[in-house]
Amino acid sequence: MTAITIRDVSDSTLAALKVKAAQSGRSLQAYLLDLVTREARTPSLADMMARLDRETQSDVDTSDILAAIDEGRERR
């Protein structure tokens, strides 16, 4: 595994992270590793939008929808 160093972390930020780690019952290292891992696994907004665009493509147009409505009304 690779080690990562983060420089120039303010004292207040470090203190807040230590508190959050302690509240979750984990060491600072375990807390930050979990945070970084979740961030790496989370798709970006652009990736989610591209997936949404791919999965919601439809060849149905307005005339198809109107025809289906008319057909449903005729069956009543």
> Tens digit of pLDDT for each residue in 49-68?
999 988 888 888 899 899 99
Q: What number is the average pLDDT over the span 18-35?
A: 98
Q: Does pLDDT of 30 surpass 90?
A: yes
Separation CA 18–CA 12 (nearest Å): 10
Let me know if residue 4 belongs to a domain: no
Count how many domains the chain has: 1
Separation CA 43–CA 74 (nearest Å): 46
Structure tokens at 57: 């493509």
pLDDT, greater one: 76 or 11: 11
| Structural contact between residues 21 and 30, judged by C-beta atoms closer than 8 angstroms | yes
Let me know if residue 49 belongs to a domain: yes
* Enclosing domain of residue 45: 11-74
Let me know if residue 3 belongs to a domain: no
